[in-house]
Each structure stands twice: as C-alpha cells, then as structure tokens.
Amino acid sequence: MQAHFVGKLISGVVLAAGFGMAAVAMPAQAATLRMAWSQDATGLDPHKQTAFSSIRLLELIYEPLVRLDGNLQIVPGVAESWQFSPDGKQLTFKLKAKGKFQNGAPVTSADVKASFQRILDQATGAVARANFLSIASIDTPDATTVVFNLSQPDVPLLTAMTSLNAAVVPASEITAGTIGTKAIGSGPFKLDSWVPNSKEVLSANKDWAGGTIGVDGINISVLPDETAILASLRTGQTDFALLNDPLVATLVPKEPKLQLTRTPVLSYNVLQLNPSRKPMDQLAVRQAISCAIDRKDVMDTAALGEGKVTGPLTMPLYATDPSQLFCYKRDVAKAKKLMADAGFANGFSATVIAATGEPPTATAEAQVIQSQLAEIGIKLDIKVMELNVYVDTWLKGNFDMAVALNGGSADPYSMYNRYWTKTGNLQKVANYIDDTLDSLMQKGRAETDPTKRKAIFAEFEKHIAEVSPWIWLYTAYGYTAEQKNVEGFVPTPTGSLFGLSKVSIK
C-alpha cells in the first residue's frame, strides 16, 4: 500500500462529504474570548475520555499526530509529514521541529512512543486501544522521527490517529503518573484553571507550532442550561457558545446581533440494546424493537426534525441509504409477530438509561421510544443520570438499553472496531459480536482498494442492522452561536472546536 493510496482514499471522503472550509484572516488585535457551554468536562485524561464535553475541552489543549480538517482531510498535528512504506507495514512520521509542550519541553519521538505504549497498555483503559493493535513496535531513530512497525497493512490507522484519544502527551508526565491530574499538551491553549461545573480559564500557548492564535485566551463558563446560554449571548456577556439543543439553536437566527453556525456531524443518536441480557439476547426480540421504532418520529419530536435518519455508517463515502436496511420503515405488525415468535407476546419490562444534557434531546428520545415500544408490550422505565454517572455505567455495560450519542469517524473501521471486533476494547459496551461482523471489519481494515472497501462495509452495515444489537436513529447538527464581531471559526463534521485557535474578535 503506497502513501498515495491514503491520499486517494481521503480525497474520496472529501469529495463525498462536500463540506467547505473558508480561508481565515488573522486578527488585527487579540482579546479574550468569553465562551459558554452547558456540559463540563468529566476528566482530563485524553486517552480515556468518551464524553463529548471532555473531548471538546481537551482538543484545545492536546494534539494528536494528525487531525481532520473541515473537509475531513488529514492535515498536520504534532507531525508535519507522514509516509506509508510500499508494503503498508511501516508508517513514518516527521515531527514539527518547533513543537513544544505547554511546560516548555520539546515534543520528541520519545513522547510519541510513550503515548502509544500507554494507549496500548490494557491497564491504562484507553478507549481507542483497539484502533492501534496492528502496531507491533515503535522505532525512534532520532528526536523528530517516529516509525510505527505494523503487523499487517492497516488502512484506517492514519484516520484513527486523528482522534483526541490518540493525543501525544509528555513522556515525563506518564512516568510521573500525572496524566489526568494535570493537562499539559502541545495544542493552542493552556489550561490555567478548572473549577468543575463552573468555569475553565485557558490562555494562548505562544509556543504553539501550529501558527498564530487569534485570541489571548478563552474564559469558559459552564451555565446551567442552554436557555441561560442564549440569554447570556443576548445580553453580550458571552461571545461564543457551543449549543447542542436544537430547540435553543433554532432561536439564534432570530437575534439580530448573533449568528449561528450549523454543521452536519458524523456522530449519531442511537438506542443501544444489551444483547447479553434477557430477553435482548434473542434475535427476534431485538428485531422486534427495531421494527417498532419510528426513527423519523424520534428525530422530529426530540430534535424538531433537525437531522437525518441514519444507518450505522454516517460518513458520506460509505453510508447506505437507510431505506435499504432492515426494518427502517416502521412495521408494528411485524414487531408483534417477532415478539410472539420469541415467546413474549405479552411483552416484558426493561430500563433505558439516558444522560442529562448529552445530548439535550436524550430524555425526549427516551420518552418517544418508551411510547413506541409500549405498542408491542414493552414497558420501558426511563432512568436519567448525571453525565459522569452515565458514562461510568455505560462503560461497564450495566444497562438494559441506553440512549446514547456516539462519535463518528471518517473511516468505518476506526469508528466501530472497538465495539464490533472480537478484540474491541468496548465489547463491554456493545455486548455483542459474531463471526460475520468480526470478519467484515478485518477485511475492511486490510483492503486497500476503495471500491472493494465500500462493498465490504456496505455488507457490514446491512448485517449489523439486521442482527440489531443497536437501533441507529439519526445524525444531527453541531451548532455554535457567536456575536457578529467573532470571526474565523471553522466547524468540522467531527464537531471539533479546534477551530477556536483561529478565531478573532473584531
């Protein structure tokens, strides 16, 4: 596999995605950006975080080797260049010579090696570990060169390395055991202080190798809900806000002093079943639940129709038309028959968990699903949890069903292998695997021909929709609201706030 193949593959993603990226003018003068959001980070360890609120904060502080831009194109992060070997079994990075951590130490190949060794160590509990199991060894011939030796060609590896969960952290902090207690990265901003569920204060990292930063810092306020955020924007107390609730976001265009950025995202809203628990261990029961759910009704009711019904694959290059997947048109009669065939004609009781605020639509989604499943005899109890409690419960797989918002990726393998392979490190969350899913994921990982990869993952998507361990609902939008004197923010389909590094206040 040549390096140009990866370029060709990513170019295909870009063409399919069709997301534009505007040029950004540098600010005439810097200032402190006053920002607000309603959900705070749940932790500071970039290798362990799954909550979007944590990722959005930490991606301003830490950097991976490479990242995805607004067009889903792979661009430099800590690394300035990269190259696959002709056989696809080596991936070599050259690091930016001027890269520095926020403690003043240079970013070296030793830090990269230590970071990936930490991710691969099962004891760490790194959430993206499964993405990197092809790494057999890591060489560091000099301070700015890193060579990943792979056990097999691994097409999605480079995309997996764009994740915040693959951030490069200082080797010294790993040795000291301070990852997660301090946040020292090489990104555009330093975390000066954090008062959980209250505020974060960030200052510009003047040593950032990524270029000039448009503001002196960011003061982030954690406000109780998004209506309070909108009120703060209206009164001019907030310059920039991250919004997740479509009920609030759709009000922003009515405000003459505000502007709304609305971006389709790769993350997906999903009802996760737990097939390790009775009666969800029966295929017919899971399929009955799939047939009983009206996905569009869930989206229209909970999210004001702000989204698109989706199958498992949300990236434009690979996504299948959902109408071609199992039971995407609601069929209550079929659902009742499947329940009866499984011996549950009179239904059963179960509990669904949902998090407060992430997404803000979670409780409403659960309520719509509760009503729909009642029609086939399933009595669903809704248990709403604080986000940190929900995340802990979710990671342990300690639920009957869960309403979730999960992250997307430009590549199907890096998006799903941690759930749907036999070596996936989030198998406790998925609680389901079969030979077909595992085989298709492995084939898609190794295949270098884009057309063949698309066919493999189309088969994967069809199969997983049919066996129904999860019920995929819809993709939504990422929203940011800002005063009209805030310029230069570039959104991405991943929902990243990294574009704040180029924001200016006029």
Closest CA to 506 of 23, 31, 22, 188: 31
What is the structure's pLDDT at 25?
40
In terms of phi and psi (left: phi > 0; alpha: psi -120 to 50; beta: otherwise), the region of 262 is beta
Q: Are 66 and 76 in contact (CB under 8 A)?
A: yes
Non-local (6+) Cβ contacts of 343 within 8 A are: none
Which single residue is written with the structure tokens 């048109």? 329
DSSP 8-state symbol, 169: -
Query: Please, which pLDDT band fits residue 30 given cuts at 50, 70 and 90?
Result: low
User: In whole angstroms, how far apart are CA 299 and each of 173, 356, 369?
Assistant: 44, 18, 11
Q: Which residue has the tokens 């292998």?
A: 417
The pLDDT score that the predictor gives to residue 27 is 39
Domains of the chain listed by start with CATH number: 62-171 (3.90.76.10), 268-477 (3.10.105.10)
d(CA 331, CA 335): 6
pLDDT tens-digit series, residues 253-312: 999 999 999 999 999 999 999 999 999 999 999 999 999 999 999 999 999 999 999 999
Average pLDDT over residues 76-80: 97
Name the burial class of residue 428, with classes exposed (0-12), middle (13-18) and buried (19+) by CB atoms within 10 angstroms of its CB: middle
Ramachandran sector of residue 220 (left: φ over 0; alpha: ψ -120 to 50; beta: rest): beta
Using CA atoms of 73, 75, 77, 80 in order, give the dihedral in degrees to the nearest 10.
160
Q: What is the CA radius of gyration of the chain?
A: 22
- In this prediction, residue 14 has a pLDDT band, given cuts at 50, 70 and 90, of very low
CA distance 362 to 350: 17
Chain Cα centroid distance, residue 180 = 19
Helix (H, G, I), strand (E, B) or coil at 214: coil
State the residue for tokens 């040029």. Answer: 23
Rounded distance, CA 404 to CA 417, Å? 18
